[in-house]
Amino acid sequence: MQRVRAPTGLHLAYVARAEHPAHWDDVLGIATFNGTPAAAAGAAGIPIAQVSTPVLPPETHLYEVWSCGRPAESGQHQRVRFRRSEEMLFGCITLAEADFAAPAHAPSSLHAATAQAYAEICATLEAQRYPHLLRVWNYLPDINRDSQGTERYRQFNSARQCALQACGRARSGNVPAASALGATSDSPVVVYFLAGRSAPVFVENPRQVSAYHYPRQYGTHSPLFSRAALLRQPQSLTLFVSGTASIVGHRSLHIGNTARQTRETLTNIEALLSEANRVTRGAHFELDSLAYKVYVRRPEDLALIQSELAATLGSQAQVIYLQADICRQDLLVEIEATGICPLAAAA
């Protein structure tokens, strides 16, 4: 079991299927990979995001478990299944593109499905009164494939931006931390998220152009995410690090070199941690204190990426690996992370 937790407040654990929690009272939500079932959690009313991205090495089965340290309540709004505590809400939505075939009102079925997913997410947050979208995970099949003359990732960005604008949400600055990765062909669009009643601090990386300010060469609609979001709770700080890659400024670096891309990505995360520690009182995040989710484009690169991470983070680092295509075709690795720092230790 790999766990990041604070004395009270939000907890994150990566657990093997055989190690799932004995009690589900304080669990907010679960993401599964490899098509791993979670029947016991579903029977307990826990929202489950079933993500079609294989775990590496193969035949590994993991749960990503978010909990809050106190009893939580389940519910559903439209197609968003959620579970909430007094301060936090976990939600997920799964939509099949086939249900949005040949839409008259959108450029593609992916565009239509994405726009609908975000419209229902925003409606859920408004209805349940959790106004602050903190962290979003997006998984869509064939993310790099061209469809109807446009890369599918660019279609996704267009739909996300249009939907958030229609819901009256910001398109720069105060936008959530996020990741967007490929999933296996013919799988549904899956989005899961964390939202809160308290506003986070959004953090940008001084080494990178903010994603929402990318030039038009990356698409007519920029990706809408902050590099990180930092949430203060009564006894802890939680840092959500968005999907991070070998990008400096707005350009991809070290094309074709997996080892150098991995090192550059870790340098970006380290710079982001320094910025988070600078802007927030009580923050004291370090590379080796985070839990990491690493997306590997080519499975044959796994051992090399593991070696690079061990050299920087140490052999005891909390890391899971998933096989997934990444938003840019020239990127071979992407890393996201979560850190939870007890305020007593950070002060």
What was the pLDDT predicted at 3?
A: 58
Strand 80-84's sheet: what is its strand order? 73-77, 80-84, 88-95, 189-196, 132-141, 177-183
What was the pLDDT predicted at 343?
A: 80
What was the pLDDT predicted at 347?
A: 44
What was the pLDDT predicted at 59?
A: 74
10 Å CB burial of residue 244 (0-12, 13-18, 19+) is buried
Q: Please give the distance of CA 209 from its chain centroid, rounded to a whole number.
A: 19
What was the pLDDT predicted at 5?
A: 56
B/e letters for 5-29, b = 16+ CB within 10 Å, e = fewer, are bbeebbbbbbbeeeebbeebebbbb
β-strands 177-183, 132-141: how paired? parallel
Closest among 288, 299, 307 to 324, alpha carbons compared: 299
CA distance 195 to 87: 9
CA distance 224 to 247: 16
**pLDDT tens for each residue of 134-159:** 999 999 999 999 988 899 999 999 99
CA distance 347 to 337: 22
Class of domain 2-346: alpha beta
**pTM across the whole model:** 0.95
Annotated domain spans of the chain: 2-346
What was the pLDDT predicted at 342?
A: 84
What was the pLDDT predicted at 346?
A: 44
State yes or no: is 334 an active-site residue: yes
Residue with tokens 């991470």: 309
**pLDDT tens for each residue of 179-211:** 999 999 999 999 999 999 999 999 999 999 999
Please pick, among 64, 275, 334, 336, the residue that the annotation labels catalytic: 334
DSSP letters spanning 125-148: HHHHT--EEEEEEEEEETTT-EET
Q: What is the Rg, in whole angstroms, of the alpha carbon atoms belonging to the chain? A: 19
pLDDT digits (tens), the chain, 347 positions: 455 655 468 999 998 876 666 678 999 999 999 877 677 777 788 999 999 999 999 877 889 999 999 999 999 999 999 999 999 999 999 999 999 876 666 689 999 999 999 999 999 999 999 999 999 999 999 999 998 889 999 999 999 999 999 999 999 999 999 999 999 999 999 999 999 999 999 999 999 999 999 999 999 999 999 999 999 998 899 999 999 999 999 999 999 999 999 999 999 999 999 999 999 988 899 999 999 999 999 999 999 999 999 999 998 889 999 999 999 999 999 999 999 988 854 44
